[in-house]
Amino acid sequence: MLEIVIKYILGESRTIRNAPASAIVIAFGAFAIVWIAMDWRYAAIIANRDGIIASRDAAINLIATQRDAYKEKLGGVSPDQAKSRVDALESANANLAARLAAISKRVKPEYPLEDEQKETLIQLLSDVPKNSRFHVDIFWPQLNGNPRNAYAVAELFSTAQWDVAVRRADSISGHGLVFAFDAKAAVDGSKRSPEAVKLIELFGRAKIDSAIDNLSDVSEGSFRFIVGEPN
């Protein structure tokens, strides 16, 4: 573009020499304006090009960084090899879970109740209308008992939203789950309190074994629910 302007000026030099001074000034002013405009335009084009190049370089550098980080995480293996390792780990995890499930079925549940019995009893207790529920005291025998067993049973009542408390039965021993009455009620079910009859029924429906016994310090019309050590 600049060469064209120079050639034009040289070709018209005679005309320019014969032109008035004002015309020459105007011509050079116009030339200066054109020159500035062309310089600004090309400067903007160059700056835009440099910006595009810089943006592409940044994108390339980011991709390269991500690629290097990915390679580092893979430990030098290919994506296919990494996928094979993940698949192998998932398969091993599934096999281990199956083995643990099989082992857990062979392990005897912790005394005093099995898991299925617990779930059934909680459901049966929950089905009892709230206005038909009553306070339950669960005793553990002082001589050979463990309060942990009594609390394990009490937790089932609490889960079913029953009012329950754990107490120590002094100077007695016991084995398993025992409903203790006075001498008459121990042999005659009609003399037992409705609360005792209800609990015995619920435990029977849950297929939980319990025993009937008599204690000299149990008053007529009452009972004690005792959780002793395993038989």
pLDDT the model gives residue 135: 97
Q: Do 145 and 87 fall within a single domain?
A: no
The answer on 99 and 129 residing in a single domain is no
Query: From the first residue on, what is the mean pLDDT of each consecutive set of 10 residues in the chain (231 residues)?
Result: 52 54 54 58 61 71 72 67 74 67 47 86 96 96 87 95 94 84 93 96 93 90 90 63
Kindly state whether residue 40 falls inside one of the protein's structural domains.
yes
CA atoms of 119 and 127, how far apart (whole Å) = 12
- Residues 19 and 25: their CA atoms lie apart, in Å, by 10
Write down the pLDDT at residue 33: 63
| 136 and 56 inside one domain | no
Same structural domain, 182 and 138: yes
How many structural domains is the chain composed of? 3
Q: Which domain holds residue 34?
A: 2-67
Residues 18 and 99 in one domain: no
User: Do 119 and 212 belong to one domain?
Assistant: yes
